[in-house]
Structure 1
Amino acid sequence: MTTSYTTPSGKDTMPWWKYKMVWLVIGGPLVVVVASFVTLGLAIRYPDPVLESVVVATPDAAHQPAMQARNHAATGGVK
């Protein structure tokens, strides 16, 4: 016994890969996955250099406005 599957309108359906909407749905996440592997490869191949930290023991004149604003924000304006 042979069974034939047709749509209610009587037309044969296309395979899933022939619908453009399927490739739109699959293509978006696929592009993101490929881009993440490219980013990982770049991060492994060209790592960021380690920067030496600079510790300022005494605040000089260049840092005074920042220190004053920080203290003002921390105390709520009390001098």
Structure 2
Amino acid sequence: MNPSSSPTVQIPSVAWWRVPQMWLVVGGPLIVVLASLVMVYIAVTHADPVLDKTAFERDRAAASVLQGQARDEALIQLQPAHQARNHAASPVVPQER
């Protein structure tokens, strides 16, 4: 039997979007791109406000005038987040006054 006389099988052509393997290859990166666009939208529309340094200094001065427990609570609320976080994780327990 020679190769030229063998019957050829006709494979029906299918649209590219109907092939499931194509969606496995393209679907993952497409989902990642869409998710990143959503994250950019959220970051742009819900930006954190810029804090006013003069208002912070005014509140800090007002808190330093207070006495005892009220002063400590007011100053803790005015601490930057990284200082409060590091203090909360420290093994040192502050002594009672």
TM-score range, shorter chain: 0.3 to 0.5
Q: Which has the higher contact order (CA 8 A, sep 6+)?
A: 2
Q: What TM-score, normalized by structure 2, do the two folds share?
A: 0.40
The TM-score normalised by the length of structure 1 is 0.47
Larger fraction in helix? 2
